[in-house]
Amino acid sequence: MTEADGTAEHGAAEQSAAISTRLNWLRAGVLGANDGIISTAGLVVGVAGATTSRTAILAAGVAGLLAGALSMAAGEYVSVSSQRDSEKAALDVERRELEESPEAELEELTGLLVGRGLSEPVAREAAEQLTERDALRAHARVELGINPDELANPWHAAAASLVAFTVGALLPLLAIVLPGASQRVPVTVVAVLLSLTLCGVLSARLGGAPAARAILRNVAGGALAMAVTYAVGTWLGAAT
C-alpha cells in the first residue's frame, strides 16, 4: 500500500463517518419530531374531548410541549453523556496500551486489517503506515469504531432533541387551538395524520426501509393515541 493509497483510504473513511453522523442526527430529529406530534396530539385531543375551553386546551398543550421537550432533552443528555464517557474511557485504555506495548498493538492492528479482507503483507504495511501517522486514531477507528475528533456531544444531542420535539409538538397544538370548537378535533386529526405520514416517509428514506410500512406504523400509532385519549377525555368530561 502506497502513501497515496493510505491517504485516500483515510479520507474515504473520514467522509463515510461524517455522512453516517449526519444521517444519525437527521434520523434522531425525525424521530424526535414524531414523538412531539403523537404525544402532544394525544394530550390536546384528550383535553378537547373533556372541555371546549380554548384556554384549558392551550394550557394543557403548552405544558405537554414543555414537559416532553425538556424530558427528551434531559434523557438524551444523560444517554449521550454516558456514551461519551465510555468512548473516552476506551480511548484512555487504548492510549495506555500503545505506550506500554506498541509492538503488540501493531500486531493487533495488523490482525484486524487482515480480518477486514487484506492480505497479511498489505495489512502489515497498512498498519505500520497508520501507526506512524497516528497510532491512537488508527486503533480508535479500526478497533473501537470511534472517531476521536467526533466524540458524542451531549449538549448538541439535548438541544437537537428539544428542538425536534418542540417543532413536532407545535403542529397539533396550533391545529387544536386555531379552529372553532366544532372543527378542532377533525382539523387536528387530519393535520396530525398528514404530518405522521411525512415523518414516516422521511424515516424510511433515511433508514433505507420500505415507506409504506413506516407510514402505516406512524399513522396507526398516532390514530390509536388520539382515539384512546379522546374517548377517555370525553368520558371524564361527561362524568364531571
pLDDT tens readout for residues 205-234: 877 778 888 889 889 999 999 999 999 999
Residues of the chain with pLDDT under 70: 1-27
Q: What angle do CA 26, 30, 33 make, to 5 degrees?
A: 135
Crossing angle of helices 184-207/154-177, nearest 10°?
150
Interatomic CA distance for residues 208 and 205, integer angstroms: 5
pLDDT of residue 18: 52
**CA distances from residue 107 to 132, 171, 196, 229 in whole angstroms, order as listed:** 14, 56, 51, 61
User: Considering the entire predicted model, what is its pTM?
Assistant: 0.75
pLDDT of residue 62: 96
pLDDT of residue 98: 87
- Name the burial class of residue 96, with classes exposed (0-12), middle (13-18) and buried (19+) by CB atoms within 10 angstroms of its CB: exposed
| DSSP H or E run through 217 | helix 211-239
pLDDT of residue 26: 67
Crossing angle of helices 3-50/211-239, nearest 10°?
30
Contacts of 166 (CB under 8 A, 6+ apart): 36, 65, 69
pLDDT of residue 22: 58
pLDDT of residue 78: 92
Q: Which three cell numbers stand for residue 159?
A: 438541544
CB–CB of 29/160 below 8 Å? yes
